[in-house]
Amino acid sequence: MEIGHLSMTNETTNKILEESKSEYHKLSIQVSLNGLSFCVLDTLSNTVITSERISFESELTPYALQKEIKQLFEDNEIQKIQFSEVVVIHRNNLFCLVPNALFNKDELANYLKFNAKILANDHLEYDEIANMDMVNVYVPFVNINNYIYDLFGDFEFMHNGTVLIKNLINSHGSTNEPICYVHVMEEHMDITVIQNKKLLLYNNFSFTAKEDFIYYLLFTLEQLKLDTETTKLKLFGSIEEGDPLFQLCHTYIKDISIFIPSHANHFHFGNLDRESIDFTLLNSF
């Protein structure tokens, strides 16, 4: 297991515990088989008090993932804190976007079976994506949801793609030109292509080599018939200008930049490194 950014301290934990009676804190957790992360937001000052991210050297099982979350919470005494809101974000590739006109909540398995390998006993859920006339059908980590419920009671959960799509659409602006957003995190890439405030495509891929990364990206642009000379590419997440992935993209795509999410101006971060906090964590609040 590889430990990523750590920002929780005993002093911070004690401060939160002292103030927990006021219930002004919100908790956002993102879980995947490749890693997990969380952050705590003080809603009175709109300040991110603490965050932590862990990446695993190899993909875990859902049950091993639950053990990691339990250990992480015990280490940081998260289970002792009262929260006004708890949000869990499930990150996996077991999802399917369905137009509202074709959606029937009794047919969830039939939508997913064409896009993902699902089991007969898998529990299926769906997120309605407001103002987009579509639904995201997916398989959540049920054991994680049960564990979180046992700790905190009622909470909200959603798929990672739902958070990305909603917030990228909202921050896209009114440009008529297609923009390809790529979120990079723990050997995963989420590709979202938006034009005229409309979603052209959302998909995610796993990669281990930078050649895989550029293949998936160029293949996506080719399928959408988007010109690499004119299409804007915006990268964000675990990537910076000058990184090998960034440089490789620049070899094939002319208009490339690092995307600065809108939450950078909405929250205060104190001494925390805002770049280390996952986009979906903050935008789930």
Residues 216, 155 share a domain: no
Residues 157, 24 share a domain: yes
Average pLDDT over residues 148-175: 90
- Give the total residue count for the chain: 285
**Residue 179 and residue 281: Cα distance in Å, rounded?**
23
Residues 256, 184 share a domain: yes
Report the CATH number that the domain containing residue 228 is assigned in CATH. 3.30.420.260
Residues 133, 147 share a domain: no
pLDDT > 80? residue 172: no
Q: Is the pTM of this model over 0.95?
A: no
pLDDT > 80? residue 201: yes
Residues 113, 33 share a domain: no
Residue 157 contacts residue 209 (beta carbons within 8 Å): no
Of 51-55, 144-148, 155-159, where does mean pLDDT reach its minimum? 51-55
pLDDT in tens, 62-86: 999 999 999 999 988 888 888 999 9
Residues 214, 150 share a domain: no
Residues 84, 49 share a domain: yes
**Neighbouring residues of 167: CB distance < 8 A, sequence distance ≥ 6:** 261, 262, 279, 283
Task: Indicate the burial class of 251 (C-beta count within 10 angstroms; 0-12, 13-18, 19 or more).
Answer: exposed
pLDDT in tens, 91-133: 999 999 999 999 999 999 999 988 888 877 889 999 999 878 8
The total domain count for the chain is 3
Structure tokens at 214: 């550029």
pLDDT > 90? residue 89: yes
pLDDT > 70? residue 15: no
Structure tokens at 45: 């000052």
Report the CATH number that the domain containing residue 272 is assigned in CATH. 3.30.420.40
Please choose, from the candidates 129, 231, 224, the residue with its C-alpha nearest in 3D space to the C-alpha of residue 175.
Answer: 231
Residues 159, 77 share a domain: yes
Separation in Å, CA 141 to CA 31, 148, 154, 158, 267: 8, 11, 16, 11, 29
Residues 147, 43 share a domain: yes
Residue 267: per-residue pLDDT: 72
pLDDT > 70? residue 9: no
Residues 279, 181 share a domain: no
- Angle between helical axes of 244-252 and 210-223 (0-180°, round to 10): 40
Where in the sequence is the domain holding 157, given as residue range(s)?
Answer: 2-92+138-165+263-283
pLDDT > 80? residue 31: yes
Residue 155 contacts residue 87 (beta carbons within 8 Å): yes
Residues 145, 6 share a domain: yes
